Amino acid sequence: MINGCNGHVMRFRFLRYMFSLLPVIAFSFLSSCTPRFAASHEVSVSATVQDSSAEKAKNRFIAALLLAEKGDFWGAIDGYRSVQLRGSFAEAARNHAISASFLELGVIDSARVYAEKAAAGEPENRYYLRMLAAVAHLMKDYPRAVDIYRQLVQLEPQNTDYLTLLALEHIAAGNPEQALGIFQRLLALDPSNNSTRSQVFLLEIKLKHYQNAIETLSALVEEGEEKERLKLTLGELYVETGQKDLASKTFREIIAANPRFVPAWLALLELSVKSGDRGTFQLDLDAFYDTSALKFDQKITLAELFYVRSARDSAYADPFRGMITAIDKRHPGEPKVMLLKGRLYLREKRSFEAVAEFRAVLKKEPSNVEVREELVSAYLMQKEYAKAAYEVEQVKKLPSVSRMRVLVLDGYTAFQSGNTRKAALLLEKAVKLRGEEKERWLYLQAASTLAMCYDKLGNAERSMAMYRDILLLDPANVLALNNYAYLLALQGRDLDTAKKMALQAVGNEPDNPVYLDTLGWVLYKLGEFTDALGYLEKAVLLAPGEVEIAEHLLDVYERLGFEEKAVFQREKVKRLRGK
């Protein structure tokens, strides 16, 4: 198939086109014939021979075309080659036919050779040029395809199909500026074409021509069908360009027109978070939770989203607490709200309050697996290992829980309780499960904990192999990126790879002291002590009680010759070790 077209349809069009050329081919054959008799023979006899030979050539060519239509492309190629022709038009037609057959066979190099010959023989033939451009594109020779489409545009400057193909080929060739210019030319030819306007908009975004993109999108909003989503994107562009007042105005207009459109509420609340405007955030939050247009599940979903964001960005921590307070006030005793409150307490290491929330949920929903898993985590935080193990046993009794989920929870509990060998055995069973029970998120959790088990058991290579498996399945897995980078740093090998991984982890969670420590230590190993300093000082501020991070910072101070700071840090490390 060519450019996504149906192969049979393409062959039919090709066959129809080639039949239209048969008079030209026959004439070319006639003009190339030499008389087989002496000049004294009658002219009529010579003409009869020529007519007969031309008819035979035409019939051979038709037979080759029919073979191609039947799918016998090698037979068709042999047939085309057997016809003796002279004249550029006939030769071009034959070369085009041979190219088409090679293309159907997937022999792209040969298709390219004959397509080039056909286009050279008849350089203004649109059909031949289209074929050559398609073959060049298939071979990823995008600059050549661009040249050919440019020829077609020169032949027909107002042809929107050729202009579109040229623009798309520029995109393939990595020339977004040129593509944008051509799409703008197309838009001038047909200002009502929103498909072209969308292409212009996407390229303006790619090229960071944000102000132009705003103008393009504004036109799309006026004429487009999905006005809410287009207007939402317009508001996001205003945010990107620092026009926060216009962004706020746009989001509020969407909400006024349709208060059920949750993405607009989310965008408006996020704008207040990014602006640091807590007063406006609270007012908008109250309006969101007070509206009767939205169901409870939609309101709690937004809170859950802020919970996830707050884990990665500390700017969302206080707004999330405000959300929990607001929704709890309006829906007291609602299990989903209590679960979120418990998770918040757990994150803040307020494990006793977390346990109380989780217990309250279980009174209403005793079979809620998710809550029991959170309760296990809370008991593990308290080092109440017997209570954690008891909750695992309760989960095992629930009929709807998969074997893999039980193994993962049991293995994680054993690992956190210090029973590393038992944990490894349980988790090895979990990662070996196949079929429906092997859910992706459960596998990742099992594999991550198993990798940590192997590391704790002194088998760094197996640990690293496990992390590699995780990253094959989930290349953006932050925990695996961090831990793999740290293991590389400890071994002092492949430090450039370790640096890239650690930077990616910190980029995802810039306030995670463990990830900051890893990056700082990798940089230390690379001899980039000044760069390491900033990351490790931030890590110590975020986790002042972590002795390993404190030791790493001490090493950097000593390397940089900061003796006064090193003395202070040395005393701090001694105190932490004493604890």
CA 157 distance to own-chain centroid:
37
| CA end-to-end distance (rounded Å), the chain | 72
pLDDT at residue 194 in the model: 78
Q: Give 362's contacts (C-beta < 8 A, 6+ positions apart).
A: 368, 371, 372, 375
For domain 402-475, is the CATH number 1.20.210.10? no
**Is the distance from CB of 124 to CB of 151 less than 8 angstroms?**
no
pLDDT along the chain (579 residues), means of 10: 40 46 45 34 40 69 83 88 74 88 90 91 90 91 92 91 90 90 87 81 83 79 72 88 91 92 92 91 93 91 90 86 92 94 93 96 94 95 95 92 92 95 95 71 93 95 96 94 96 95 93 95 96 95 93 94 93 87
Number of H helices, E strands in the chain: 32, 0
pLDDT at residue 94 in the model: 85
Q: Which 8-state DSSP code applies to residue 459? A: -
Q: Do domains 1-139 and 402-475 have the same CATH topology?
A: yes
pLDDT at residue 8 in the model: 40
pLDDT at residue 39 in the model: 32
Domain ranges of the chain: 1-139, 402-475, 504-578
d(CA 147, CA 402): 59
**Is the distance from CB of 466 to CB of 450 less than 8 angstroms?**
yes
**Is the distance from CB of 410 to CB of 443 less than 8 angstroms?**
no
Q: Is the dihedral of CA 287, 288, 289, 294 positive or negative?
A: positive
Two tokens, residue 159: 């042809």
Angle, in degrees to the nearest 10, between helices 88-105 and 7-20: 170
CA 504 distance to own-chain centroid:
16
Give pairs for 268-276: CB < 8 Å, separation 24+: 269/302, 269/306, 269/319, 271/239, 271/244, 271/247, 272/319, 273/315, 273/316, 273/319, 274/239, 274/315, 275/244, 276/315
Give pairs for 111-118: CB < 8 Å, separation 24+: 111/135, 112/136, 112/139, 117/91, 117/92, 118/92, 118/93
Give pairs for 304-312: CB < 8 Å, separation 24+: 304/340, 305/266, 306/269, 307/340, 307/343, 307/344, 311/347, 311/509, 312/508, 312/509
Domain 504-578, CATH: 1.25.40.10
Two tokens, residue 34: 């030499």
| Residue (of 104, 5, 20, 122) closest to 62 by Cα position | 20
pLDDT at residue 33 in the model: 38
Three-class SS state of 469 = helix
For the beta carbon of residue 346, count every other beta carbon within 10 angstroms: 20
In angstroms and rounded to an integer, the radius of gyration of the C-alpha atoms of the chain is: 36
Two tokens, residue 499: 């640096």
For domain 1-139, is the CATH number 1.25.40? yes
Which amino acid is present at 180?
L
